[in-house]
Amino acid sequence: MTLRYCHHTLCIAGRSVPSLAEKQDTPFYAYSLPSVQERARAFRRAFPNALIAFALKANRYPPILRALAAEGLGVDVVSLGEWHLARAAGFPPERVVVNGNAKSDALLQEAIAAGAQSINLDAAEEVPRVVAAARAMGKTAAVAIRINPGLDVHTHPHLQVAAQGSHFGVPPEQVLAVAQAIAEAPELRLAGIHLHPGSQLLAAADWEAVVAAAREWVGRLRSAGFPVQQVNFGGGLGITYTNAPDPQPAALAEQIHRGLAGLAPLRLAFEPGRWLVARAGVLVVRVVQVKHAWGQRFVAVDGGMNALLRPALYGARHRIWPVRRREPARPATVVGPNCESTDVLARDVPLPADLAAGDLLAVLDTGAYGASMANAYNARPLPAEMLVGESLPPADV
Ligand SMILES: Cc1ncc(COP(=O)(O)O)c(C=O)c1O
């Protein structure tokens, strides 16, 4: 962790949060560069020959993208805007994978023209669209079939995208027909299969099911004569959002190698988002007012669901720490400034009893799906972002 108290003041990657707040209005996101780099390196060490394509939807801040490109990662994009951000950050097209259930023609054209690593087909109905775009340019497109294996993994229902009835991916009964359509189209080349299992997976048992599904589909497609050379496991590796250790890519690697043992060589690809960047970020907010009502202490801050949507969207629980730590602590409900009853950042948060307007709070583990989901509700400006840090000062915790 690159977030810790230095002499009772919260520091991120060696910089005190109040010093950052002197130069930047709240709410703002601060990201630790060393944290991002360490995580990128850990993922690459676990899968040295795989394509690790950062899911740009998790964080689109250009300095973070440049740092990840410099670490040799690839990138997963789902829109033309994400495509342009990725290319501007230095990701070469052969390390860009294109996902999405409603890819625009403009995105398909850019991806095909530049030679993206793979366009992951989300539907049988997408095949003729990619064929037409490739034919118009006289190009061949590398495509993968995003299979929806109908898995029931343990995560929030809103994060389940590979379950029966989901609108993502090709359902099992259509997969062979899609492979056949790809084989018959001279404009397409089958790069492999894609199996994004959903987000925020913590249980090893869930990954067992994902790996077993991948093994089954490689076998079925190969025995039907379709040469699958790559399995893209998507993203999904979760973090605990607490002090408990996160699942590690090295353990996932062991599980995958065991689960795929005996299959003819396969290239692996991954699209981690959350695991790479969530721990690197804090959202810094300022207390506007403290209200005592209904037997509760409501701490109203200047950034809520507009700056960090996850608590309102998924009931996500983020730790909130005071930037200046002091005793005693008392429970508080931390609420945002927006006119919605769901604009509650967290309940039962232990915060200093004398917390007052002007104090700073840090919302932890917000480097993924934080700023990237921020919005302008109630005509508030988007939160600023900054990347900090090279080295750590000694900790006093
Ligand atoms: C296709 C795809 N790949 C990768 C990801 C990243 O998932 P995560 O941030 O959980 O690693 C997502 C997230 O929704 C996704 O839809």
pTM of the model: 0.95
Task: Give just the sign of the alpha carbon dihedral 237, 42, 146, 116.
Answer: positive
The count of C-alpha atoms lying within 13 angstroms of the C-alpha of 255, restricted to the half-sphere facing its C-beta, is 18
| Chain length of the chain | 397
Q: What are the Cα distances from residue 268, in Å, to 47, 194, 234?
A: 8, 10, 10
Catalytic residues, which ones? Answer: 339
- Per-residue pLDDT of 210-269, as tens digits, reads 999 999 999 999 999 999 999 999 999 999 999 999 999 999 999 999 999 999 889 999
Question: Ligand 1 in contact with 235 (CB < 6 A)?
Answer: yes
Q: According to the model, what pLDDT value does residue 204 have?
A: 87
Question: Ligand 1 in contact with 65 (CB < 6 A)?
Answer: no
Q: What are the Cα distances from residue 163, in Å, to 15, 270, 307?
A: 43, 19, 29
**What residue owns the CA closest to ligand 1's atom 4?**
235
Question: Ligand 1 in contact with 236 (CB < 6 A)?
Answer: yes
Average pLDDT, the chain: 94
Class of domain 33-277: alpha beta
Q: According to the model, what pLDDT value does residue 156 have?
A: 66
Residues of the chain with CATH 3.20.20.10: 33-277
Please give the distance, rounded to the nearest whole angstrom, from the Cα atom of residue 219 to the centre of ligand 1: 25
- Per-residue pLDDT of 136-188, as tens digits, reads 999 999 999 999 988 866 666 666 566 678 899 999 999 999 999 999 999 99
Please give the distance, rounded to the nearest whole angstrom, from the Cα atom of residue 233 to the centre of ligand 1: 10
Residues of the chain with CATH 2.40.37.10: 3-30+278-388
What is 3-30+278-388's CATH number? Answer: 2.40.37.10
377-388 mean pLDDT: 97
Structure tokens at 46: 């676990």
Please give the distance, rounded to the nearest whole angstrom, from the Cα atom of residue 394 to the centre of ligand 1: 35
Q: According to the model, what pLDDT value does residue 288 have?
A: 98
Q: Find the angle CA(42)-CA(46)-CA(50) to the nearest 5 degrees.
A: 110
Q: According to the model, what pLDDT value does residue 146 have?
A: 97
- Of all atoms in ligand 1, which is nearest to the CA of residue 238? 10
397 pLDDT more than 70: no
- The residue written with tokens 């408990």 in the block is 244
The count of C-alpha atoms lying within 13 angstroms of the C-alpha of 145, restricted to the half-sphere facing its C-beta, is 28
**Distance of alpha carbon 199 from alpha carbon 306, whole angstroms:** 22
391 pLDDT more than 50: no
Q: According to the model, what pLDDT value does residue 159 have?
A: 62
The fraction of the chain above a pLDDT of 90, given in percent, is 90
Q: According to the model, what pLDDT value does residue 394 have?
A: 44
**Distance of alpha carbon 97 from alpha carbon 55, whole angstroms:** 9
**Distance of alpha carbon 170 from alpha carbon 101, whole angstroms:** 10
More confident call, 151 vs 25: 25
